[in-house]
Amino acid sequence: MEPGTHLTVIIPSYNEAENLRIVFPPLMDHCRENNWRIILVDDGSTDKTLDLLKQYEGDPLLTVIRHKLNKGYGAAIKSGIRACQTEYLITYDADGQHLIEDIDKLRCALLENDADMVVGSRKGLKSSTHFRDLGKAIIRLIARIMMTVPVHDINSGMKIYRTDIAQKYLFLTPDTMSFSDVMTLVFINNRHLVLEEPIRIRERSTGRSTIGIQTAFQTVMEILHIVILFNPMKIFLPLSILCFLLTCLWGIPLLIQGRGLSIGTLLGLIMVLLLFLLGLIAEQLSLIRRNQHP
């Protein structure tokens, strides 16, 4: 591989033509100076994105992948990762929030620490709305309750990681906005070295973000899926214990009164047993699936 061609910048884009007019020229210049590659995935845009990219047609540094229909943020990144042929890749949003100099910062952090992923952390930076800050905080809290997460900003859109590892785990990741969270959690759960490096962000100059309540709900569901895949007893064991405690609170007073075990108490004990056994079965299935996809 030629010197400098070890990095590809992957840009998922959906109707971001106005922002790309600002973002893309300096990014192309920076990648040209370092002999890096760019893969821009147009996720079924209906604006003038393709017209904008025609001026770069034939440039050996740029690969354009087009989805005929909008498939989702995660699907766009996955298409870019599949097409990536360099040792490392970095995801870079098309809305103009990221700074070019942070690419070098994350790249240096990854190489200096021999890491497998470095997350661009926005810790301490405020989002455009308090609603988004609250949503991110809830997602982080749920992720930390369910599993050990050594990084703060799991849903950052700017991450650099080893291409071969990312390609290996694509089958586990969703096509939605929760791709960033899930890919980070997959790396962490498979004991890859994941670090965090502070970055700065800017507000988008034009357009509107598509992140909303549905995105947060999808992300929480995907986190639960990952937990069940890697460590299902994290969910089933606490549920079993909670059910047992509630059953005791219900049944013990009746037992003390000499009324014996009620039907509700017996049902509660059966539920405790079922939840525990379901957890054991899920644990075995998880182990089998992971062995099938090492």
Mean pLDDT across 254-264:
79
The predicted structure's pLDDT at residue 231 = 75
The predicted structure's pLDDT at residue 262 = 81
pLDDT tens per residue across span 221-231: 666 777 777 77
What average pLDDT does the chain have? 83
pLDDT tens per residue across span 24-33: 999 999 999 9
pLDDT confidence tier of residue 151, bands split at 50, 70 and 90? confident
> 0.85 exceeded by the pTM?
no
Counting Cβ atoms within 10 Å, is residue 239 exposed (0-12), middle (13-18) or buried (19+)? middle
Token pair for 173 = 């990741």
pLDDT tens per residue across span 66-106: 999 999 999 999 999 999 999 999 999 998 899 999 999 99
Q: Does position 257 have pLDDT exceeding 90, yes or no? A: no
Mean pLDDT across 252-266:
81
- Within 13 Å and on the Cβ side, how many CA atoms surround 277? 6
88 or 178, higher pLDDT: 88
pLDDT confidence tier of residue 218, bands split at 50, 70 and 90? low
Q: How far apart are CA 257 and CA 265, in angstroms?
A: 14
The predicted structure's pLDDT at residue 253 = 84
Nearest to 3 by CA among 103, 115, 87, 106: 87
Counting Cβ atoms within 10 Å, is residue 170 exposed (0-12), middle (13-18) or buried (19+)? middle
Mean pLDDT across 251-271:
83
Q: Does position 139 have pLDDT exceeding 70, yes or no? A: no
The predicted structure's pLDDT at residue 37 = 95
Counting Cβ atoms within 10 Å, is residue 92 exposed (0-12), middle (13-18) or buried (19+)? buried
pLDDT confidence tier of residue 141, bands split at 50, 70 and 90? low
Sign of the Cα torsion 54, 92, 39, 101 reads positive
pLDDT confidence tier of residue 171, bands split at 50, 70 and 90? confident
- Within 13 Å and on the Cβ side, how many CA atoms surround 31? 25
Mean pLDDT across 16-22:
91
Q: How far apart are CA 120 and CA 174, in angstroms?
A: 20
pLDDT tens per residue across span 33-65: 999 999 999 999 998 888 888 888 888 999 999
Q: How far apart are CA 228 and CA 265, in angstroms?
A: 28
